[in-house]
Structure 1
Amino acid sequence: MSLARPRLLYVTDLAYQARGRRYCDEDIFLTARLREDFDLALCHPRDAAALMGAFDGVVVRNSGPVLGHREAYEAFRERAIADGTRVYNPLSGKADTAGKQYLLDLSAAGYPVIPTVDRAEDLHRLPETDRYVVKPKLGADSVGLRIVSADDVRDLVDGEVLVQPCVDFAYEVSFYFVDDDVQYALYAPHPERRWQLEPYEPTAEDLAFARRFIDWNGIDHGIQRVDACRAPDGQLLLVELEDLNPYLSLDALSDKERDTFVTAMKASLHRFLAAERRRD
């Protein structure tokens, strides 16, 4: 790394259309603040592999679901691993960074996860229900998600999708981490308006639940979001562990909370680049 300010390539799709949210606003805000500490350029995920060699590190943020640019993402991963490129979040993540196989693995291991299968012959392992959630293994942001009847679900299980029971949860809640530290929590008190998030005050039990998955993933540096739902029995169940490009819903925070998050992210990036430099 040069002695000048670190150079970051910030990967985002500013034109990505997300239901109920403007991802580009979040990246415009974050890049404006990160420029206080780093020399920074933005690029589309399809251009990242060709450009990243000129930078000290790559920050992958709101780049959209991998389904939209699967070949470009695989090329980016292969080149970054081969060249030893510093990628934030690190590509060693075991959750959404590697697809959604982790939901099957965690479910089979007895973690508090919504029960999940990917084979028709395993449907009997799920709780009996009239409705199932079917979603692509490489999906995100509810892209491709369907709710189907018990009569129709078997015909849709083709190895490329996950199947879960449709849980009548009380609400969804997300815990946002930078490195190993929780920064804030948000929830959707009205399930029918899942994009309208409000501040959530987690209990010690809530934080222990979320941290269990952060510890399992084992990422030293990066941003992770633990998405959970409150089941009818009061238990939290993991919905997703977002470690690839989690949307942060910064617009739901106060100015002070946003400043606190940015400070934590900058410090994490400095530690990440310094740690990687020591390995060189």
Structure 2
Amino acid sequence: MIIHTILFVTDLYYPAKGRNYYEEDLFLTSKLRETFHLVICHPEDIEAFEDHTDLIVFRNAGPVANFKVKYEAFRKRVIAKHLNTYNSLDGKADMNGKEYLIQLTDAQLPVIPTIDTIDHLDELPHGHMYIIKPKDGADSVGLKFVEKDKLVEEVKAHSKDTLIQPLIHFEYEVSFYFIDKQFQYALYAPDKDKRWELKEYTPTDKDLHFAKRFIEWNNIHWGIQRIDACRNEQGELLLVELEDLNPYLSLLELSEEKRNNFVEVMKDSLQKALKG
């Protein structure tokens, strides 16, 4: 029996707000090594190991903006050398930056309305407070709350490297987790002021229809995706972001049964990716 070698990419020292990335990855690697040979490396060191592994699993590496040049070089090598990655790098969402939020807005899908120039401010719901964030940001890096009359100072009119969204008053945030196209579990923050105090959430059929709509839109070949949404004051879900590169999974917030089920499904998905 062939035991494949996986290069597990993570930054165990990344200082995430409200959670410890390394705890999740230590748990996950302890389970994956039951089935695979495992090599762990920092995201900036991939090139030294990529030719000696069967699959590169990109996990809790933090925002790729922190190592943008090396990440872009890695993406080019994936194509040039036919490297096998997990997630597959054919997604249309966060793995390419947040431009897709504008595309989804233009397509009139249920997403927080998003533009990238103050010239289109009249396309957003009227308000006095807005959120701006860089297109290549993640983990709330660079996010600011800006009053309407200060937008011109904060957003460069012609660079189009900043997203502008209305400030949404919401009841709570909820995330839906998928492996390939199969729903696994959902978590939510019942107290919106404590974003990372998560509890298991039982989605309705309508909730799952909402989430699956974006999974189908993205249509990656294999991997883990997290659909982040907020429930607005009218009771409707709106997409906040679609994380399709290295979503934090909050695995340690799950029951042991759900956590172990997730691992087994992930192992099956990794085998699928190994077959290409």
Q: Does 1:54 align with 2:52?
A: yes
Contact 2:134 2:161 (C-alpha < 8 Å) held by counterparts: yes
Deviation at 1:128, TM superposition (A): 1.0
Separation in 1, partners of 2:170, 2:151: 21
2:268 is matched with 267
SS in 1 for 2:49: helix
Q: Which amino acid aligns with 1:16?
A: Y
1:220 is matched with 221
2:249 is matched with 248
Question: Which residue of 121, 125, 128 maps to 2:126?
Answer: 128
Separation in 2, partners of 1:134, 1:190: 23
TM-score w.r.t. the length of structure 1 is: 0.96
1:59-107, Cα deviation, whole Å (9 max, x unpaired): 0000000111101100111111111100100111100011111100000
Q: What's the Cα RMSD here? A: 0.9
Contact 1:226 1:241 (C-alpha < 8 Å) held by counterparts: yes
Separation in 2, partners of 1:97, 1:50: 22
Separation in 2, partners of 1:13, 1:190: 29
Deviation at 1:155, TM superposition (A): 2.2
Query: Aligned residue pairs: how many?
Result: 273
The alignment-based identity, stated in percent, is: 53
Separation in 2, partners of 1:175, 1:106: 18
Q: Does 1:30 align with 2:28?
A: yes
Separation in 2, partners of 1:242, 1:28: 21
2:98 is matched with 100
Separation in 2, partners of 1:51, 1:271: 22
Alignment of 1:64-103 (within 5 A): 64-103=62-101
Separation in 2, partners of 1:4, 1:152: 60
1:32-69, Cα deviation, whole Å (9 max, x unpaired): 10001110101111111232111101000000001111
Unaligned segments of structure 1, at least 5 residues:
none
SS in 2 for 1:208: helix
Deviation at 1:9, TM superposition (A): 0.4
Q: Does 1:190 align with 2:188?
A: no
Separation in 2, partners of 1:204, 1:220: 24
* Higher mean displacement: 57-66 or 146-155: 146-155
Unaligned segments of structure 2, at least 5 residues:
none
Contact 1:49 1:75 (C-alpha < 8 Å) held by counterparts: no
Contact 2:90 2:221 (C-alpha < 8 Å) held by counterparts: no
1:150 is matched with 148
Q: Which amino acid aligns with 1:142?
A: S
